[in-house]
A = this chain, B = another copy of it.
């Protein structure tokens, strides 16, 4: 593996859309006792359910800590590869590389990772094991790696259409805990230099109480070129209403890199999902404080789905809107089967199915975007 100090775009590389075909996928076996209730045993099961669906159509590699390898190997299907790798938590989306291709070769971008805000408003300390994973995953996969550790970025904060357009949120990318010395223009330039994009659509915000500083992948996602889903509520008294509405306003007047207007599909939110006292008792405290408190609202959203080659894996919350979300997504992904997975255990950790996965695009995809 070569460690590269050039920029992917100048080398002819770009980030394909998630809905383009994948070579594989990366996940991490959960373990952190202040993230996952009661020692992560229930979270493991939910992760395995997600893994089973993804592994139907993609080569899946799951990273397990030394002490978790035996359990991961026992719980996961034979055709899933389990490899040993230390991690601080289990958010592959944010700590695995962002993969870029040029139609022949695949490379990984190794962004800086500081636990969603570092010493300013990060969620745990230290985060060194997470921050080292992207490079090691590139090494494992025999992909050269771009050293972008000077720039803090998580995979969950960006979505691309593979045709030159990137979706992100101002709440996250302009947060003080990430790249405070970069102007908005400098951040735009870095994204353009690294991801082969020409147009960045800045949504103002994400999901209410999303502790990632409102990652885009919990509120809005491309389902096809010029088509997006947006997490939505019609309840004007819900603090989420104003957030989703501000995003809708941006999306309705936006054009993508190819000058197209976007079609926005509203994906209803579940009713607010809150922590129970019993769940809180199953979480270790951190720095003298509980990590969750009873009745705390979690950032539940159906947008946090993963698009695999044959499926769309969508979180379910035991809510009346569970089926509606699946039906909307099924209409938007006619070549894939949408599978719902009960995801409360993943949500308690702070994210959802998209957050615990990272796709590895096919390296030989025809260059979809007009560069």
Residues of B within 8 A of A66 (CB): 86, 129
> Taking the complex as formed, is A2 at the interface, i.e. its CB lies under 8 A from any CB of chain B?
yes
Question: Which residues in window 55-107 of A have CB below 8 A to B?
Answer: 66, 69-70, 73, 78, 81-86
A78 & B140 in contact (Cβ 8 Å cutoff): no
Residues of chain A having any CB pair with chain B under 8 Å: 1-2, 66, 69-70, 73, 78, 81-86, 129, 132, 135-136, 139-140, 142
Q: Does the CB pair A1–B85 fall under 8 Å? A: no
Name the residue of chain B whose CB is nearest to the CB of A136. Answer: B84
Q: Name 19 interchain pairs, CB-CB below 8 A, sorted by A.
A: A1-B73, A1-B78, A2-B78, A66-B129, A69-B136, A70-B132, A73-B135, A73-B139, A81-B139, A81-B140, A81-B142, A82-B136, A83-B83, A83-B139, A84-B84, A84-B85, A84-B86, A84-B136, A140-B140
Within the complex, what minimum Cβ distance (angstroms) separates A58 from chain B? 14
Copies in the complex: 2
Assess whether B136 is in contact with A83, with CB atoms less than 8 Å apart.
yes
Beyond the given pairs A82-B136, A83-B83, 7 more chain A to chain B contacts, judged by CB atoms under 8 angstroms and listed by A's residue number, are A1-B73, A1-B81, A2-B78, A73-B139, A83-B84, A84-B86, A140-B140
Smallest distance from the beta carbon of A16 to chain B beta carbons, Å? 24
Q: Say whether, besides A69-B132, A132-B69, A139 and B82 are in contact (CB < 8 Å).
A: yes
**Residue of chain B at shortest CB distance from A1:** B78
Complex alpha-carbon distance, A78 and B132, angstroms: 17
Closest-CB distance, A296 to chain B (whole angstroms): 33
Which residues on the B side are within 8 Å of A140 (C-beta)? Answer: 81, 83, 140
Write the nearest CB–CB distance from A29 to chain B, whole angstroms: 13
Closest CB of chain B to A89's CB: distance in Å? Answer: 16
A132 nearest in chain B by CB position: B69
A135 CB contacts on chain B under 8 angstroms: 73
Q: Closest CB of chain B to A139's CB: distance in Å?
A: 5
Please name all residues of chain B whose beta carbon is closer than 8 Å to the beta carbon of A78 when the two chains form the complex: 1-2
Task: Kindly report which residue of chain B lies nearest to residue A142, judged by CB atoms.
Answer: B81
> What is the distance, in angstroms, from A3's C-beta to the closest C-beta of chain B?
8
Residue in B closest to A133 when the chains form the complex, CB atoms: B84
Name the distance in Å between A76's Cβ and chain B's nearest Cβ: 10
Residues from chain B with a CB closer than 8 A to the CB of A1 are 73, 78, 81-82
- Bound-state CA distance A85–B140 (Å) is 11
Residues of B with C-beta under 8 A to A2? 78
CB-CB nearest 6 A-B residue pairs: A66-B86, A2-B78, A84-B85, A82-B139, A83-B140, A84-B136
Chain B residue at minimum C-beta to C-beta distance from A70: B132
Residues of B within 8 A of A136 (CB): 69, 82-84
For A72, the closest partner residue in chain B by CB is B139
Bound Cα distance A81, B142 (Å): 7
Among residues of B, the one whose C-beta sits closest to the C-beta of A73 is: B139
